Each structure stands twice: as C-alpha cells, then as structure tokens.
Structure 1
C-alpha cells in the first residue's frame, strides 16, 4: 500500500521530473535520468522505455535503468513477446499505463506459471508492473514499463494516477525528440551530400518518404511527365516504374528481396533527352556526440538525378589516374556513369559482352563499390567529370550550405 508520504514526495518532485523529461528532447542521455527519477519517487525496482515497430512486436531501440545489460538483451531478443500481458496490451488504448495486477485478464497466479516469469522475471524479482503505449505513429510504437518486486507489491491506485498524469508530457517529449533527431539527421546528410557532389539529389528515408530535395532536383522533376514529388516520396504514374524504383530503394536500404532483381538506376524520358535516377546509400554524418540516441537511425538513400541536358562527359584518362583503372576499365566505368548499356558499349568497342562484364567487375572492385549505380555516382562525383566547355565541374567546398 502506498503511503500518503510517498504521494506527497511524488508531488514535490514532479517539477524536477518534468524538467528532466523535456531535457530529453535535446539530450538522449536524459531518458536514463528520467527513468531513474521515476523509479525512485514511485518506489519501484526498474523501468524501461521501448521504441518498437508499428505492430509493437520488435524492439528497435530502448533506454532502461536497474536492468542488467545481458538480461535486457535476453528480454529484447525473446522474452518481450512472452510476457503474458503483451497480447492484451495491444488491444488497450494508448496514452496511459495499465496495472498488471488489476487491468489484465491474466491474474497473478497465471503470471507465476508463465514462461516469462519462470525463465526470466523470477530471478530478477520482477512481479508487478505498469505498462502502456505512450506514443504511436505510422512507423513506431513506444512503450513505457515500470516494474516492482514482490516485496514492493503492486502499484497503488494513487501512484498509478500520478504516473499517468505524466504520460501526456512523455508523449510530447517523444514527439519533439523524434522531430529534432530527424531534422538534425536530414541537415547533416544534406550538407554532406552537397559537399561531395554537384548533382541534383533527393534524400529518401527507409520508409520511402521524402526527407529532402535540393532546388535543382525539384526543378528537374517538375519538367518530367508522369512523375510527382510529394512528402511520401517519388510517385510515378507508370506502375512498372514505381515498382522498379521501390525495388531499387529496398535493395539499397535493406538488401534485395530473394528471387527479385533490382537495378539501382531508372531512366525517364523528358522529350528527346533522358533523365536518369541513381539510387545509392547515403553516408550518415559522424555524430559530434557519443551519446546513444533513443530513436533508431533510419537508413537513408540518396537519389541522384542525371540530366542529359547538362551535356556532361567523363575524362577517361583522368578517371584512370584517380582510381588506378586500365584504359579499358575506365572506358566501361565512364560508359556506365553516362547511362550506356554494356551491350551498347560492347558493340561500339568491338568486344564481347563477357569481356566488358569482367572489366566492369574489376573496376567496381578497384573503386570499392558493389552496385553499378554506386559506380556511376562515384564517377559523376569525381574530378574526372567535365562539362560541355571541357571544364572540370566545380565541387562544393567544405562548410557550404546545401544547394541545387
């Protein structure tokens, strides 16, 4: 039974708890501090906050206090879905915590007979808890769990109500921290790509949504028939093109689907001039802080736009010098970068397709790439690229802002 003294103590420390909670929007390490304070003033054993997939079946990231690292890894890997309350928790409304002693159909005796208790919770002396979904959007579900030992007993109605009064603030802090994390990642990636390439580009996250589009990319795409740039990403009127683009993104971000081939480039026709989209992984900027983020880092792809109207070409001699390629390997790499098919290059050079494929593999090995699209992007971002006036295409200097 929670005493009046504990309730009074909770009231007195609530302002400090809220201050720490909103500090999490700027400093992820503050989540550990918040959980530790919550455990102390609620008279609990431990607490965890779990960032999960939309279905709340897989833990993607987490913060926890008073749980051994090895035990927490066991919980995340297996026991999170063995908890007897979890199936019913999915059916409960988000926005508050529920008492495992009184708000679930699984009673305490059934809990003591469960695999979850006997194989994981028993030796940790975890017998009671509060749990609930405190944040949910189209991609993630975030759950907060507070645990007590058998000796500490079940949560009293009074302390449960006090903790639930904090949940709207927890939800707001989570939403703010996610927005800030996404914006910092977007700005860092946009600056990094702009520093390394003159090409127009888009940044697309692991869900296919648009993170950033430079002005030149937007201008080119508005001229393309059958393509629309929305917050949900690139939308093609042609279903075949949409499928090819989605497969390219999935191949770059998550790996190819078994039994399906995915090219990482897509050619679109704008009148008589083709426009090619090159999909490549975006290199995440190095974080200034070693602090572990609560929100999982989402994979991001860069979609480079190669517009034939710009009349660029590749200096094969310079390309050979840059990457240690033979003239034949440089010729193949330059052709791939400019969107030519291997068969066309073979016919023009009077060589077999097998020979060109071998040369392409060697060129990819020497340049350290795994996909033709990555080779094309590497060449087009190199000092071997020339414009129609035979000038080296200028690179963006370090410290410049994202540009189109």
Structure 2
C-alpha cells in the first residue's frame, strides 16, 4: 500500500516527533500521526523494556487500554516472541515468526488475540547513552499485512526517533539534577527566585513561594519583586539592575546583599542578588539572568532526627536537645521544652560535645547547621 508523503506532511510529522520530549506524555502526538499514516490500530513506543528488575515504560496511541499495557509490563513481556530485532531495521512479524508458531503461541492467544492484534511491524533502536527502545505498529487480523511501503515509511523516521530519544534522555537527566539541587536548597530553608533578562520572575522554589504568600518584606507585583520600604525597593532595584548589566556584558558574576525589615516585626530577611553567567549558546529573553537568595531567620532547621543520630551517634534524647539548640533555643529553654532538669540537659550536652568533638554550644550549632543532615 503506497504512502506518498508530501514535504509538508513529512515536516509536520517530524515536528511532532522532535516536540515529543516536551509533551506531558512524550511522543503521543507523533504516535497518533504515525498510526494514521500506517492505517493501523495501535502504535506503541517502548521507551524502557520491562524486566524482572525494572518496570517497563511505554507510550501508546489514544484508544489503547492502560490495563493491557500493565498486563504486558507485568507478565506478557516475558512471552513476547517479537523481540531482539536487528538493530535499526524495520521488520514485520511474519518475517520473524512463522504464522503457525504465532497463532499457537501463548502470547498471541492470551494477549494479542483478545485485542484483535495480528499483524505487527517493529524496529529496535539503541542510543549511545544505553537506552534500548522498541517501536511497534499493529493491525487486526482482517486488515492487510504490512508491506514494503509500510516498512519504508517507518524506516524514514527511525534515525529521527533515535535522536529525539537522545534529546529526551539529556532533558530528563537535567530535570532530575535540577529537582535534586532544588530539593537540597529547600531543605536548607533558603528561598530562591530566578529572574529573566527583564527582571521578571521565571521560577521560584517552595520556600520563596511561602515567603511571597505572606507579603511580609517581599511580594510579587506584576511578575516583578517588591521588597520592604520604598527605600528598600529602590536599593533592591539598583542591585538587580547591576546584576543584569553584569550578565548582559558577560562580566564576572556580581553578588550584592541587603537586609529587609518586615512589617510584622519578625526578624529581618537577608537577601543576596547574584547575576547568572549566560551559557555560551543561550538566546531569547526568557533565559535565567539573576538569582535571588532569601534567608529567613525565623525558619527552623529541618534536619531529620534519624539522620542527625546516625551522623553523630547520639541518643534520641541528645538528638532532640541538639536540634532545639540548633533552632535557637537556649539550654534552659531546651530543657523546659523537653521536660527535663537543667542538670540532665547539661549531661546530655557534655555527652554530645564528647561525641561530636566540639567544646562550645555555638560550635555544636554550627556543626549541625553545616552538616549534610540538613539535606536529609
């Protein structure tokens, strides 16, 4: 069956293919177009093949059953005879498995036949990063088998699909790293806000969102930031302006700081403004240009007790008292909070000093707040 694609049709399909990594469910638009172009029932892209060690990850066209996909990933993948295809080569099922063997296989009888899938066209691709992917196109038993024109059409897109998978892997790795670092900054109770080249807010972490919601010392106005008094705002705007000028001229990173009083009477916010050096090939107005870091002295340390105990070999009682001291309480306030005598609290403190190798309460607090416990 011939499938003459016009240049516009081919370009449209390529557009959806390379747009695939940015979709909420990758490549769904491309798979739908490919399914229609090949007059098939389903098009499925297996991004991660299932095994006993890991769950499979597959994307199917609209109309596919999630239950069927789950059944394949949990059980039927081990029975699938249409695997291990020649690398980057489009193959039809009847070239790989004889029709009698296919009809008599448990995989066909229990998995494919109930969904009226008989003809299958497929290809396997691997990327330099180690991804092993499969694309499968299927038709019902009453449909015509796949022919050479079908194979040629799918072959056209294979190298582009491989490149798109590589892009997806890079984007996914960058997103994972970004989420890891963002989570670490959240644990440190530091608010971070990223501004673009116009000084507008691009993104913010959860700590910054909570601070902005209170509108106490800093707030969001027309996608920009307003801090403290009018004098504070003037100083802040000047700091951001300097950071933007430094960023645009590719000068060494500018770092400036200020304190902002809060109308509530809570402790002043500490704000650091830092320019973000542009990457060599960055372009467009929505690139990160300035980073704003905000410290809130009222924010308590969130170091988990179990991690502090494991790091410093403390008892539960010593750990509780140490965290109270790290959050700014005096020894008397900590003993009252824990319902113990001052002598008991002092005994806990001496034991903690011995285990951590410090000799003063201020050193202990510094040790806890600068340890990896706050990242737990």
Is contact 1:51–1:59 with CA below 8 Å preserved after alignment? no
1:151 paired to 2:148:
no
CA distance in 1, matches of 2:4, 2:107: 34
CA distance in 2, matches of 1:97, 1:36: 19
Is contact 2:129–2:166 with CA below 8 Å preserved after alignment? no
**3-state SS of 1:147 partner:** strand
CA distance in 2, matches of 1:325, 1:36: 62
Shift of 1:34: 1.0
Is contact 2:32–2:43 with CA below 8 Å preserved after alignment? yes
CA distance in 2, matches of 1:330, 1:12: 77
For 1:15, the equivalent position in structure 2 comes to 11
CA distance in 2, matches of 1:333, 1:34: 64
CA distance in 2, matches of 1:38, 1:149: 16
Shift of 1:129: 0.9
Aligned with residue 183 of structure 1, among 174, 178, 189: 174
1:75 paired to 2:75:
no
**3-state SS of 2:81 partner:** coil
Shift of 1:392: 10
Cα 1:11–1:43 change in 2 (3 A) is: farther
For 2:86, the equivalent position in structure 1 comes to 93
CA distance in 2, matches of 1:392, 1:130: 61
CA distance in 2, matches of 1:175, 1:52: 13
For 2:59, the equivalent position in structure 1 comes to 63
1:124 paired to 2:115:
yes
CA distance in 2, matches of 1:25, 1:119: 33
For 1:42, the equivalent position in structure 2 comes to 38
Cα 1:43–1:389 change in 2 (3 A) is: closer
Cα 1:315–1:63 change in 2 (3 A) is: closer
1:114 paired to 2:105:
yes
Equivalenced residue count is 233
Cα 1:191–1:131 change in 2 (3 A) is: same
Cα 1:85–1:315 change in 2 (3 A) is: closer
Cα 1:316–1:132 change in 2 (3 A) is: same
For 1:26, the equivalent position in structure 2 comes to 22
Residue ranges of structure 1 left out of the alignment (5+ in a row): 200-302, 308-312, 345-384, 396-404
**3-state SS of 1:153 partner:** coil
**3-state SS of 1:165 partner:** helix
Superposition pairs of residues 352-391 of structure 1, within 5 angstroms:
387-388=362-363
What value does the CA root-mean-square deviation take over the aligned residues?
4.3
Shift of 1:60: 2.8
Q: Please identify the structure whose Cα radius of gyration is greater.
A: 2
CA distance in 1, matches of 2:347, 2:57: 43
